Amino acid sequence: MKDLLFVGLGGMTGSILRYTISKFLSSTLISFPFGTLIINIIGCFLAGIILKFTSNNMSEELSNNLTTLIIIGFCGGFTTFSAFSVESILLLKQGKVLLMISYIFLSSILGLTFCLIGMMFIK
């Protein structure tokens, strides 16, 4: 039951923050989905930090609680792979192939890179 509460609390917080950031960044003049890109990079960075932090000298229970709250709950609600997929397809349907390829490339490479940086951020 505790895990469900952690996932729900983290997911609600992440979803609200994602919505707020997306609305704020959607006012850009270019049709590139910067909001989702930035959100996914931040989420990957945070997941990397938490993965590394919880593996360093922490009790198993506290590690599981943080992982459930932040990675599964918050990052799950905050990051937007389904939005990423839809936005990629919409760019393709709009004939913006170069933007679509750029978006997919940047999201993948920067997401992986910032996850690693997040892990290196915690010694």
Percentage, residues of the chain above pLDDT 70: 96
Residue 52's pLDDT is what?
Answer: 85
- Residue 2: name the closest of 57, 67, 94 by CA: 67
Q: Is the pLDDT of residue 29 over 70?
A: no
Does the CA dihedral 58-47-113-28 come out positive or negative? negative
Q: Please give the average per-residue pLDDT across 66-91, as a whole number.
A: 89
Residue 106's pLDDT is what?
Answer: 95
Read off the pLDDT band of 27 (50, 70, 90): low
How far, in Å, CA of 57 to CA of 19, rounded?
A: 35
Q: Is the pLDDT of residue 58 over 80?
A: no
Helical segments of the chain, H only: 2-25, 34-55, 60-66, 76-78, 81-93, 97-121
